[in-house]
Every structure is written in C-alpha cells, then in structure tokens.
Amino acid sequence: MKRKRKLIRQLYPSYVAVALVSVAAMAWIAISAVSQLSLEENIAGLKSQALLVEDILGKEFSPDRSAPIDAICKKVGSRMPVRITVMTTDGKVLGDSDEDPARMGDHSTRPEVKEAMAGKVGTARRYSFTLNRKMVYVAIPLRRDGELAGIVRTALPVTELDKTLRKIFLQIAAESIVVILLTAGISLFVANRINRTIAAMKNAAVRFAGGDLQFRLKAPDTEEMSTLAEALNTMAAQLHERLSTITSQRNQLEAVLSNMIESVLVTDEDGRITRLNQSAEKLLGCKEDKVRGRTVQEAVRNTALNKFVRDAFIHGGTREADITFVGNPDRYLQAHGTKLDDASGRSMGALVVLNDVTRLKNLERIRRDFVANVSHELKTPITSIKGFLETLKDGALHDPENADRFLSIILKQTDRMNMIIEDLLTLSRIERDQEQGSTRLERGRIIDVLEAVKGACLPKAEQKDIELHFSCEDAITARINARLLEQAIANLVDNAIKYSGPGSKVEVSCKLSGGEIIIEVADQGVGIEKEHLERIFERFYRVDKARSNKEGGTGLGLAIVRHIVNSHNGEILVASSPGEGSTFTIRIPAD
C-alpha cells in the first residue's frame, strides 16, 4: 500500500510557502516603491539644483564665455554632492564641475539633453563613460529672455542611491525573515495543535476498535473537533450499550443451552457442527471445541443421526425420529430437527434437539417384561388348576382317591398364585410408599427385628435340620420400619434355608461400622454363579427355576428385599462362591 503522507507534512510546507510568497511579494512591492520614490526624490533634488545653477549663472551665461561658466560649475560643484554640466543648445559643453569641458565631446545625443533641447525637463539613468559610473541625469533648458539659450544638467552617481536602497532592502529583507520565521513558528504551533487533536481522535478510534468502549475523548477547544469528539463518544456509548445487550442476551442463551436437559446440536449450511451444548457433549461423548467445524458423521459416527441432520437441513420443516446408538449399553434418542433460517430467510444450517429416552425405553421394556413375566408365572398354576378341574369334571370327581390328590394339587397351585399376588402387592406397596416418600421410619433396636425373624424362620430351619445362629449387640439402633426390615431379613434367611442342605449353618449378624449398620446373612448352601449375581435382584429372576418352584419361591423375594433396603436409604450386596455358600449384606445408616 502506498505510504500516506502525514497531514502536518501536507499542511505545514504550504503554510510556509504562502507566507514566503506573500512576504517576498510585499518586500518586492515595498522595495520597488521605495526605489521609485527615492529616484523621484533625487530627480526633484537634481532639478532644483539645476534651477539653482541656472540662477547662479544669471547674466553671466553666454555660449562664448566658457571659462567663467566652467569656474562657476566647479565652485558650485565643490559645494554640492552633484555634478554640474552647462551646455550650449547644440550640446557643446561650456562648463563641468568634475571635468575639463574641452575634453568633453558633443552631448546633444544624450536623451536628457535631447528632451531639454525640446524645452522640457529631461531625465536619464545610464552609465557615464566620462566618470566611469552609473549616473542619474536631470537636464533643464536655460532660458534668456524667454528663449532657449543653453542647457544645465545636474547628475548624481547612482551608487549613492543604490547604497541607500541596499540599506532599505537589507532592512526589509531582515524584517521579512523575521516575519517568515514568526509565521513558520506560529504555523508549526497551530499545525501541531491540530495534529495533536487528530492524533487523540485516532487514538480514541483505535481504542474503540480494540473494544475499550468505556474510554471517552476530552472535548478539544475548537468547535468542529469538539463536535467530532462528541460524535465519537456518543458512538462508543451506543456501541457499548448494544454490545452489553448482545452480550447479556448471548449469556442468557448460553445459560439456557447449558442448563437444558435436552441435547442441542447446531450445524452450519455445510453440515459442520457449530454448537453442542453440555448435555449434547455428555450424550454424544465429544467436546464442543474438539468437534466444531467437523461434520456430524466425522464427530459422532452415527449414520442415522447424520442422515437426520442432513434431511432436517434439506427438507426444512420440523422432523422427528428415533435414533439408536449401538454400544454398551445401547442408547435410544428421540430427535427433533429443523432448518435454521436467518431474518432475511437465508439458510444458516440445522438445529437438532436430542432427548435421551433410554431410561424410558428401559422402563417400558421392564414393564413389558414384567407383564409377560407375571402372566407367565400365573399361567402355569392356572393351566395346572384348569387341567385338574377338567379331569375332575370328566369323572375323576367320583374317584375319591384321585379326587383328593387332584384337589390337593389345585389347592397348592392356588396357594402359589396367592403367594405371587401377595408378593406383587407387597412390592407395589413398597414402591408406592417409596415414590410418595411415605415409608415411615422410626428409631428402633435391630435386635428386636432379628428376634422376630428368628421366631418366624426357626420352625422351617429346624424342619430342614439347619442351625440358625443370630448375633447382635443390644444397643444398635437405627431409623427403621421394623415390619419391612423384618420382612427383608426374613426373606434372606428364608432363601438361605431354601438353598442350603441339611446340617448346614445359617448365621445372621449385625454390627456397627463407620456410621453404618451392617446386617449379614451367611449360609453354607449351593451358592450362586458369578454371572447371576447382578441379576438375582430382578423380579422373577431365578438361577434354578425348578428348585425355586420346588422350594415354593416366587422369584420376587430379593426384589422385595432390595426395595425395602432402598427405602431405608441403604444398599444390598451379595458375595457368593458356588458350592460354598452365599453372604447377603444389608448396609443402612446408623441412628
């Protein structure tokens, strides 16, 4: 780029040039006037001196009396700083103050003399070869009785005049230089002041451009600059206000986006990601600054989502789709997409809002599985009951031996159905209380709960020849729902008895550790394979269904235990080795 000249460099030389030219012109006019004036003054002097000589010559003048005329010329000439020459009307010199007239030639050709010959006052300025210098001449006609009788000429060396003029010129020149210097100085001062003000404006503009919109310019002295400064300040104030509004709106939008549970993904018109909110970062497992500028396919590697974003952009309108993210575990997303247009209707990209519906899907699946499981669990006894009732109806009722056996089976299956329904009702009650937060917890001694469990389970243990052992300190108390906790521990002890062989031992203990109450139910039974450990707390999950059924299990016992423990703000853990036994541990906060 062509380098710009500074304003001061443009203004200052022109100021000085204008001053120089005007001062020079003034000086020239002054010198011309003075030299003209002084010339005229000299001519007037020479003329009066010539008239004086004419007077002095008086009656003495006669063209043939050269000697006395010359003597008068020399005498008067010695008293005046002028040269005096007296001539005849045809130019012959009769007397001269500085020269011998005999040596002087014919003067009739001299311009001043010619004019005097014509009866006028003649003036001339020229070089005198007689005196070897430049002279001013005035010649007047000398009249006797009204007739032209001769010519008187006075002359002054120009050097005298020049000397005076030079003096005047030098004085004017000196004064001009002073004026020029003064003008240059004042111009420099003024130019610098303008420059400083402009520099302050420039500086302010640079600061505004750099974002310092709270900076304010001081008002300069000049009206125009002051108006400009005010305009700049107003502009900065308005910009600041607008920026603040934009910033606060952006912050608001940022806060809304960050706090949204829904995941938001925005792309530009090329399908490149421009925004991902926090929820989307978490859901898609990528950071916004890492994926900004990349396509959805590059960033997320999900063809369905990529296609969905592209369709939202290409087809416009609002779109909806279910998208699955295959992984461990699978995730299900509900996507809403729309094309983004700016105020002028120009396409900016696409906006996609994603909802993680995995939990809902899972809940739905669980509900579906649960209905299927309940139906399945109930169907077995109902089928059996129906079968036996049909057999009885078809004649077995009249066979007392079989009829009695069939009725016993029907009763057993009915009991089983009743047990399942009882357990389901218990589960649903606990769940409902838990959801409503209405499970009543009261301060109670754990030993009392264990005593009740012992009372309920001892007969079954004795029946199976299993030794039941309880240990618990009296003082241990907690905020509990004694009825529910008793049911949970009883379920665990019941399982321990169910899944242990005769002669083995079941130990129930309770201790206090680090602010927690730890209740353990340990048996020496069949144990549980590792792969089942995670799932045994699910409803209707059974490791060995035949054995569970044989033992009168419903598959709901541990699900009930987990719900009860949860409503006590605790947790249930299991450790087991197949063939050696299992230990179930309940941890609840101490009182």
Residues in contact with ligand ADP by CB under 6 A are 495-496, 499, 523, 525-528, 536, 541-544, 548, 553-559, 582
- C-alpha span between 570 and 430 (Å, rounded): 15
* Closest CB 279 distance from ligand ADP, rounded Å: 37
Residues 6+ apart with CB under 8 A from 465: 502, 503
Measured from the CB atom, is 153 or 498 closer to ligand ADP? 498
- CA nearest neighbour of 357 among 260, 258, 262: 262
* Closest CB 508 distance from ligand ADP, rounded Å: 12
* Closest CB 353 distance from ligand ADP, rounded Å: 41
* Closest CB 334 distance from ligand ADP, rounded Å: 34
Contact criterion met (CB below 8 Å) for 388 and 377: no
- C-alpha span between 579 and 111 (Å, rounded): 159
* Closest CB 374 distance from ligand ADP, rounded Å: 14
Measured from the CB atom, is 299 or 496 closer to ligand ADP? 496
* Closest CB 429 distance from ligand ADP, rounded Å: 17
* Closest CB 369 distance from ligand ADP, rounded Å: 15
Measured from the CB atom, is 414 or 504 closer to ligand ADP? 504
Residues 6+ apart with CB under 8 A from 439: 430, 433, 481, 484, 567
Quick one: 63 exposed, middle or buried, by C-beta within 10 A (0-12, 13-18, 19+)?
Answer: middle
Residue carrying the six token digits 């809403």: 336
Measured from the CB atom, is 95 or 557 closer to ligand ADP? 557
- CA nearest neighbour of 253 among 354, 344, 351: 351
- CA nearest neighbour of 172 among 306, 294, 384, 29: 29
* Closest CB 371 distance from ligand ADP, rounded Å: 18
Quick one: 132 exposed, middle or buried, by C-beta within 10 A (0-12, 13-18, 19+)?
Answer: exposed
Using DSSP, state whether 570 is helix, strand or coil.
Answer: coil
Measured from the CB atom, is 337 or 555 closer to ligand ADP? 555
* Closest CB 583 distance from ligand ADP, rounded Å: 9
Residue carrying the six token digits 């503009």: 205
Measured from the CB atom, is 54 or 523 closer to ligand ADP? 523
Residues 6+ apart with CB under 8 A from 148: 89, 117, 119, 141, 142
Q: Are strands 467-472 and 505-513 parallel, antiparallel or unpaired?
A: parallel
- C-alpha span between 565 and 485 (Å, rounded): 8
Measured from the CB atom, is 91 or 527 closer to ligand ADP? 527
Measured from the CB atom, is 354 or 490 closer to ligand ADP? 490
Measured from the CB atom, is 340 or 543 closer to ligand ADP? 543
Residue 407 half-sphere exposure, CB side, CA atoms within 13 Å? 10
* Closest CB 580 distance from ligand ADP, rounded Å: 11
* Closest CB 373 distance from ligand ADP, rounded Å: 12
Radius of gyration of the chain (CA): 66
| DSSP states of 167-219 | HHHHHHHHHHHHHHHHHHHHHHHHHHHHHHHHHHHHHHHHHHHTT-TT--PPP
- C-alpha span between 470 and 168 (Å, rounded): 138
Measured from the CB atom, is 556 or 572 closer to ligand ADP? 556
Residues 6+ apart with CB under 8 A from 426: 487, 560
Measured from the CB atom, is 101 or 557 closer to ligand ADP? 557
* Closest CB 541 distance from ligand ADP, rounded Å: 6
* Closest CB 584 distance from ligand ADP, rounded Å: 7
**Phi then psi dihedrals of residue 113, to 5 deg:** -70, -40
Q: Which residue type occupies 385? A: I
Q: What angle do CA 285, 291, 297 make, to 5 degrees?
A: 80
Report the first-to-last Cα separation within the chain, whole angstroms. Answer: 83
Beta bridge partners of 263: 354
Measured from the CB atom, is 83 or 416 closer to ligand ADP? 416
Measured from the CB atom, is 42 or 548 closer to ligand ADP? 548
Contact criterion met (CB below 8 Å) for 460 and 495: no
* Closest CB 572 distance from ligand ADP, rounded Å: 11
* Closest CB 581 distance from ligand ADP, rounded Å: 7
Q: Crossing angle of helices 400-436/358-393, nearest 10°?
A: 160
Contact criterion met (CB below 8 Å) for 275 and 287: no
Measured from the CB atom, is 472 or 558 closer to ligand ADP? 558
Measured from the CB atom, is 113 or 559 closer to ligand ADP? 559
